[in-house]
Structure 1
Amino acid sequence: MKALLTSLILLGLCLPQTKDTTISRNQEQFAKLVFSDEFENDGKPDANKWHHQTIAPENGGWYNDELQHYTDREKNSYVSDGTLKINAYKENYTTQNSTKGYTSARMNAKYAFTYGKVEVRAKLPTSAGTWPAIWTLGVDVNETGNYFGDQYGKVGWPLCGEIDILEQTGWDKNSTISHFHWGDLNSKEYQNEGGTLSVPESDTGFHVFAMEWTPESIKTFVDDQLVYELPNSKDKPYNHDHYLILNLAIGGNLGGEVTENFTEDTFIIDYVRIYQ
């Protein structure tokens, strides 16, 4: 296998770099690795670590006018050659009495945490209309079909809080977005803030998308470049457990128009690591 990888690298093919699980940060508060997946075992994603969210919550559809159904089929999410592939396909797929023209996958990490550092090394899809995301929701969202259900409460969205570590629109593949959505815990009013970062060639190579979350602030990064910093406070729902989500949507508010010649594209994840 090592000889084959060396030959492929010499041929100039784009492969993930060798994974280094050592801690390379100055912040001692993020020194303990508490959850990780290096995606070393081929086949379906590790069921001990990941839950596929497949129940469409809005009358057979997903939020934000997305065009896909999410499935737990190996076709839409599988591990090979040291990376997780989340594949979106153009195909008619019927479930829950609803037919959509695309399929993909949405995966919940089976791990709840408060504060810490998240690192995800990934390669984003290239096609217009694709909307990849790395994000969190508060465990009390009680969203239909999610892993945690209502065991931690059911305040719903946005009072649960949402942290978008990485999103990318379907029409701008040279920029990335980090955004925060929440309900003020005192007024119950919806709030949101966020920013964008120009990332040339963001769709042609691997990048590290990260979040540092403390009682004082939440910072998001791409390759150690700060995208946005949100001050944290007691009136925000960012002082209780959240869980990580990986998904690839098609169309919708941030996916936009899908070209007629789209057939498939892939969101490739090299590793997921959470430190505290």
Structure 2
Amino acid sequence: MHRRTRLALVLALIVLGGCGSAPDTSPSEGKEVPFWQAEFNGTAGSRPSDRFWNTETGNRDAEGWGNNELQYYTDDADNSALDGEGHLLISARPAPVGSELPCHTREFCPWTSARLTTEGKVALTRGRVEVRAKLPTGTGLLPAVWMLGNNGVDWPGQGEIDICEVVGGEPRTVYGTAHGPTYFNENGIGGSATLPADASRAFHVYTVDKQPHRVIWSVDGKPYFTLTPSKLPQPRDWVFEQDMHLLLNVAVGGDWPGPPDASTPSPATMTVDYVRLYGEGRA
């Protein structure tokens, strides 16, 4: 994971832009309504709406995304696009021969991938984020769904909540972690859950419930870790009472999880069915 860093529009936006902010308002007594959602309905090969999503690019200037990673993030449809069946695909794949994409740890990056964010466009203040996705597994892969704080402070003071990460050769383990001013990188605080099969085999709903002085991680509705200020090291600098934006990416190599090898799948694809935000926020 990167350690240095971050109801009026309806069917027209969904069809033309690839995802929508319009919540599901179909009648259902007692049904909670998201204040923003991305359902990724659109034609195959189209991009998610830039009204809500930014596509970050590069590697060398970002110092390997703070983790000496090997992927060059692009805005190419080969790396991020809709599949025409209601999903967003984020794919890591070997860089095209002769592409010469500048890398932090070597002359050229051997992989390409994508990193999408909602920074400056959509944020959760208080409430719940749900992401239904299949995450790629394999040696050297690090798919992640996460949040960064909007307080304008450099990382790690910015605050980071990792909603879900699946690391390299641990295909059935999902990690949820928080990072802040005095607890970051290997000192991040979190927990893990064990899936019934590899994370790439089936969709799961990955959830973070961000409430005042409490963050709860769940998979498929089952909580597995709760963080409160009392669990932080002194001075217990809790930085999560703020707007936080979303990030989706598939990283390759780096200090964590280590390098890919001949067994690493290509493409290695994160398939996102939906992203939904409940509670309070900005969209």
The TM-score bracket by the shorter chain reads 0.7 to 0.9
Letter of the 2:188 counterpart: N
Within a 5 Å distance, the mapping from 1:143-182 to structure 2 comes to 153=152, 155-182=153-180
Quote how far apart the aligned CAs of 1:139 are: 1.4
Q: State the alpha-carbon separation in 2 of the partners of residues 79 and 59 from structure 1.
A: 26
Letter of the 1:46 counterpart: S
Query: Gaps spanning 5+ residues in structure 1: where?
Result: 1-19, 141-152
Q: Does 1:136 align with 2:147?
A: yes
Within a 5 Å distance, the mapping from 1:1-276 to structure 2 comes to 21=24, 31-42=32-43, 43-56=46-59, 58=61, 61-80=64-83, 81-92=85-96, 93-95=99-101, 99-109=108-118, 110-140=121-151, 153=152, 155-183=153-181, 192-201=188-197, 202-232=199-229, 235-262=237-264, 263-276=266-279
| Secondary structure at 2:95 match in 1 | strand
Contact 1:212/1:220 (CA < 8 Å) preserved in 2?
A: yes
Quote how far apart the aligned CAs of 1:58 are: 4.5
Letter of the 1:40 counterpart: N
- Counterpart of 1:3? none
| Secondary structure at 1:125 match in 2 | coil
Q: Percent identity?
A: 35
Quote how far apart the aligned CAs of 1:84 are: 0.4
Quote how far apart the aligned CAs of 1:86 are: 0.3
Q: What is the TM-score when the length of structure 2 is the normalising length?
A: 0.76
Q: State the alpha-carbon separation in 2 of the partners of residues 96 and 246 from structure 1.
A: 22
Q: State the alpha-carbon separation in 1 of the partners of residues 175 and 274 from structure 2.
A: 20
1:187-226, Cα deviation, whole Å (9 max, x unpaired): xx75631111111212200000001011130001111121
Q: State the alpha-carbon separation in 2 of the partners of residues 258 and 129 from structure 1.
A: 4
Letter of the 1:89 counterpart: R
Q: What is the Cα-based RMSD across aligned positions, in Å?
A: 2.5
Letter of the 1:163 counterpart: I
Contact 2:163/2:207 (CA < 8 Å) preserved in 1?
A: yes
Quote how far apart the aligned CAs of 1:64 are: 1.0
Letter of the 1:36 counterpart: Q
Q: 1:22 to 1:193 in 2, by over 3 A?
A: farther
1:43-99, Cα deviation, whole Å (9 max, x unpaired): 111111110111436466322121101111111000011100001101254345752
Q: What is the TM-score when the length of structure 1 is the normalising length?
A: 0.78
Structure with the bigger percentage of strand: 1
| Secondary structure at 1:41 match in 2 | coil
Letter of the 1:72 counterpart: D
1:8-40, Cα deviation, whole Å (9 max, x unpaired): xxxxxxxxxxxx9579xxxx9x94412211011
Q: State the alpha-carbon separation in 2 of the partners of residues 112 and 195 from structure 1.
A: 24
Quote how far apart the aligned CAs of 1:235 are: 3.4
- Counterpart of 2:20? none
1:126-178, Cα deviation, whole Å (9 max, x unpaired): 332211101000113xxxxxxxxxxxx3x201111000010010111011100
Contact 1:168/1:254 (CA < 8 Å) preserved in 2?
A: no
Aligned length: 235
| Secondary structure at 2:93 match in 1 | strand
Letter of the 2:135 counterpart: L
Question: Which shows bigger deviation, 234-243 or 210-219?
Answer: 234-243
